[in-house]
A = this chain, B = another copy of it.
Amino acid sequence: MSLVELESHLSFGGQQKRFKHLSSTLDCEMTFSIYLPPNHETNAYPILYWLSGLTCTDENFSTKAGAQQCAAKLGIILVIPDTSPRGDSVANDPSYDLGQGAGFYINATQAPWQQHYHMFDYISQELPKLITQNFNTNGKQSIAGHSMGGHGALMLALRHPKTYCSASAFAPIVNPSQVPWGQKAFTAYLGKDATQWQQYDSCYLLQYYQEKQFPILIDQGTNDSFLSEQLKPDVLANIAKQKKWPLTLRLQAGYDHSYYFIASFIEEHLAFHAHHLNSEE
């Protein structure tokens, strides 16, 4: 699997890069962004995967979140994938919340999506292999995301108990089976049988989770226009409470759904992950 470098910028003494590659899982060309801290050639750092929200590419987080300063200090590689398969030959939909830019980090089973929409396998299998083969890492991984990507981060961590040291999210869709964004996407990608949706729903997964617990941090702005209809983080927090799960939900007064919100707290998320990436045995 070969990478083609599209961009490289010095950033806080490290490298902000962008690559494209042919994805066999998604059957199309994909791009991803990566931040490599100073001295990454000689120091093997852990990785934080960042999953972005609806309409985003791999560039929103790298240009807007201001995460590089803290990643440079803490020694964390940031890997930022795109949010769906892409290209003229890839199925799409005119709406912003289905098709390209809205992969929902699942493996689609329904036409016309099932050929390319396998973001679950891409993020958890193909991309980590590609990163490990091409960059110097210490093998430790955590995962974070925003909105649809917050759903992706929590869900992927709950599905892969031994893979991630910690998970965090900004304004995640925690219960996609029960909200309009998730119901629309899951019906299209997975069909009408809602039992097929459970494997991608963090609330369902947490309820029935039996493996080793891992720490979860969620930040949610109280002025987020999607909070009451699409996000509902308290549903997940209540399940966590019943299960005595180490989940911290912070309601951030006055913050909205934008990258200004993410930028304001990304340093605390990176510190949270650094603690668990570095303390894990």
* Residues in chain A within 8 A of chain B (CB atoms): 9-13, 16, 63-64, 66, 68-69, 221, 223, 254-256, 258-261, 263-264
Contacts and interface: CB of A to CB of B under 8 A. Distances in A.
- Counted per complex, copies of this chain come to 2
Contacts of A258: 9
B63 A261 contact: no
A255 B11 CA distance: 8
A10 B69 contact: no
A255 B12 CA distance: 9
A10 B254 contact: yes
A9 B11 CA distance: 26
Nearest to A72: B264
B263 A11 contact: yes
B263 A223 contact: no
A261 B9 contact: yes
Contacts of A221: 10
Given A63-B63, A63-B64, A261 B69 contact: no
Lowest 8 CB-CB distances: which A-B pairs, in order?
Answer: A66-B66, A9-B260, A11-B260, A10-B254, A10-B255, A12-B264, A63-B64, A9-B258
Contact of A69 (B64, B256, B259, B263): B263
Contact of A11 (B13, B16, B63, B264): B264
